[in-house]
Amino acid sequence: MTAPAHLIKGWCPGALRPMRSGDGLLVRIKPRAGVFSISVLAAIADAAARFGSGEIDLTNRGNLQLRGVSDDSYDDAITALRAADLIDRSAAVEAVRNVVVDPLSGIDPERQNVRYVATRFEDVLADEPQLWALPGKFGFSFSGSSQPAVSGRPADIMIAATGEGFDICLDGAVDLRCAVTEGDVIDAVRRLALVFLELAAKDPAVRRMKDAVARSGAVHIFELAGLQASSRTVDVSIGSASAGMISHGDRVSGVGIGLPFGRITADQLVLLCQCAESAKLKDAFTSPRRILVFPVAERASAELLLQAADKAGLIVAPEDARLQMDVCPGSPGCGNATTDTRGDARRLVGALNGSLSGYSVHISGCEKGCARQSAADFTLMARAGRYDLIRNGVPGDPTALANLGADDIGNAVSRFILDSAS
């Protein structure tokens, strides 16, 4: 059976190609190498308030998305965003520029600053039309540590700094790596992307790199790109950016501010920008865990920013259960949704007493699963106004419990957590 058009996976909105949703047009803005300057963030807040509903999402790829833009205000929104240098030169360039950068790169002294490599690679994506044929969801990530999955989220092609050069890994085979020098890394990634396109052209079932890996094997894909792979051990002890003060010993290096279920209002963003400007901060980095990371060197400034964010209702503590949850906009924001995912997520947090004991939760308003690509410990997938509970999987995987009412999901998740502990 063919999926209804609105449920087709693989299509992502941009600014030049907005998506129509239940609350208007979604206008997605991609940072350059994972960075938005504070002045640009202020411009985004202004555009959201003037031309949209005032709500802004931070997506699981670190992009910001204006919600509720009307057909009448869309052109003015694009003009304002273009004035802030946020619009790519074409919809094709915008669609292919799916680059996630380690939000702790440039903050954590133990990580390499990989933003300059990511910037060079974004230029290659923009300048090479052959690469524009990559699927809309095909993505690249640049990690400042040897852990290739940035913030625990795999990308189709992952580049990880090793201190001596870079390791390149493919989704579906992170136990294999190809070690390259800094001088070779951009061309190696480019060649791998072209090999993927050749494999996808021969087999329509190859839609993402993990499909190509499953069919051809990662070693063969590296060989086709003229590269050699060897086995690797992933260091799972390397953490990712979280909410709160980021420090190393006595030295403060940044602040992470989490957006509850990935959303911030224009007013909240304006407040953060004012606070950041008064502390003379220049930039914020985006994290796929829906955290804005501000490089801050002074403890007093970091504390002021955290206090302001806390007062505004944003997340400032790493143990906040909302950080463990990926929640799609749901109803009424998305026309496909049959549940109020965000309201139900808030009730789940309350039912669990604010603690998820480290488990991840994905709440999806339909089987499309926009909010999270990888498996979660608990996935709650809405179907006809109720939820199916899936363990260690993604929407569409076999259900552990079916047909749960919104009032029942807290008990169901608690029971599984208790069973796992016993």
Q: Quote the least distance from Cβ 6 to ligand SF4, whole Å.
A: 7
Query: Using the rule CB under 6 A, is 328 a contact of ligand SF4?
Result: yes
Write out the H or E segment, with its range, that includes residue 258.
strand 251-258
Residues 257, 305: Cα–Cα separation, whole Å: 9
Residue closer to ligand SF4, measured from CB, 153 or 368: 368
Q: Which of residues 336-395 bind ligand SF4 (CB under 6 A)?
A: 336-337, 364-366, 368-370
What per-residue string of b and e applies to 119-155 under the rule 16 or more CB within 10 Å gives b? bebbeebbeeeebbebbebbbbbbbbbbbbbbbebbb
> Which among 115, 89, 114 has a CA at the least distance from the CA of 33?
115
Tokens of 206: 């190859």
Q: Where are the beta strands (DSSP E) in 52-151?
A: 55-58, 64-69, 99-101, 140-143
Query: Using the rule CB under 6 A, is 154 a contact of ligand SF4?
Result: no
Residue closer to ligand SF4, measured from CB, 97 or 372: 372
Residue closer to ligand SF4, measured from CB, 135 or 330: 330
Q: Quote the least distance from Cβ 229 to ligand SF4, whole Å.
A: 35
Residue closer to ligand SF4, measured from CB, 321 or 366: 366
Q: Quote the least distance from Cβ 373 to ligand SF4, whole Å.
A: 11
Contact segment (CB under 6 A) with ligand SF4 among 102-110, 213-221, 288-296, 329-337 equals 329-337
Residue closer to ligand SF4, measured from CB, 106 or 333: 333
Residue closer to ligand SF4, measured from CB, 238 or 375: 375
Q: Quote the least distance from Cβ 53 to ligand SF4, whole Å.
A: 15
- Cis amide linkage into residue 260, ω under 30° from 0: no
* CB-CB contact of 213 with 199 (8 Å): no
* CB-CB contact of 362 with 380 (8 Å): yes
* Residue owning tokens 């890994």: 169
What x-and-dash track marks residues 288-307 binding ligand SF4 by CB under 6 A?
--------------------
Q: Using CB under 6 A, which of 18, 62, 329, 393 touches ligand SF4?
A: 329
> Which among 38, 37, 45 has a CA at the least distance from the CA of 80?
45
Q: Quote the least distance from Cβ 337 to ligand SF4, whole Å.
A: 4
The residues of the shown chain that bind ligand SF4, judged by CB under 6 A, are: 328-330, 334, 336-337, 364-366, 368-370
